[in-house]
Amino acid sequence: MTTSMPTSAIVRLPQPEFTGEVAVEEALLTRRSVRSFAPSALFLAELSQLLWAAQGVTSARGHRTAPSAGALYPLEVHALVGLMPELTAGVYRYRCREHTLVSTLPGETRGELCRAALGQRCVEKAPLVLLISAVYARMTATYGERGVRYTDMEAGHAAQSICLQAVALGLGSVVVGAFEESDVRRIAGLPPEEVPLYLIPVGR
């Protein structure tokens, strides 16, 4: 049985794999929105791979898996963990430069998150929900109002990468955009400058 961690705990993620058995073409062909999940846990290595696909660092200059206008990187990725034997339930922030997680809020969130997502049961039943949020000011400070468009485009890139990586891991996923923004912000403990854009339940 796992023990509770302090909210400041740092979790070092396993090194992601850079080669795999599923071709990009196969992942594109077989990707579907999956809303029913088995009551099975996910593992830290799988979470590591999903987070790296979303915003992993891919060069010494700090470039990431998803393209970003001006390399300004306005996105943040959070893992809302429900059923993982190597992590206690709670909210974790991904720190891509170190490839680590920081525990930000302890406790089970899936039921409350499901209600915030207008009762979509996939949010409650998945062992893991990834949350993509954006700090628009990082982009608009350089590009003005057009930076909003660039940020939304980048979020789409990251979400697709998560979905394709899930296929490559033999997992299912679905992108969820219907939710009460203020409730999701509160449940995930987001700071005022972060806007939640995607919920992505992932499971078997």
pLDDT value, residue 7: 43
pLDDT value, residue 116: 98
State how far the alpha carbon of 108 is from the alpha carbons of 9, 114, 156, 179, in Å. 17, 12, 27, 18
The pTM (predicted TM-score) of the whole model is 0.94
Query: Per this entry, what is the length of the chain?
Result: 204
Provide the angle, in degrees to the nearest 10, between the axes of the packed helices 146-168 and 44-55. Answer: 150
pLDDT value, residue 60: 95
pLDDT in tens, 67-103: 999 999 999 999 999 999 999 999 999 999 999 999 9
pLDDT value, residue 1: 35
- Joined together, the tokens standing for residue 161 give 């990468």
pLDDT value, residue 8: 55
**CB-based contacts of 63: which residues, under 8 Å, 6+ apart?**
57, 71
Q: Which of 2, 191, 188 is nearest to 83 (CA)?
A: 2
pLDDT value, residue 161: 98
pLDDT value, residue 166: 98
Distance of CA 88 to the CA centre of its chain: 17
Q: What is the set of domains in the chain, with CATH numbers?
A: 10-203 (3.40.109.10)
> Which parts of the chain sit beneath pLDDT 50?
1-7
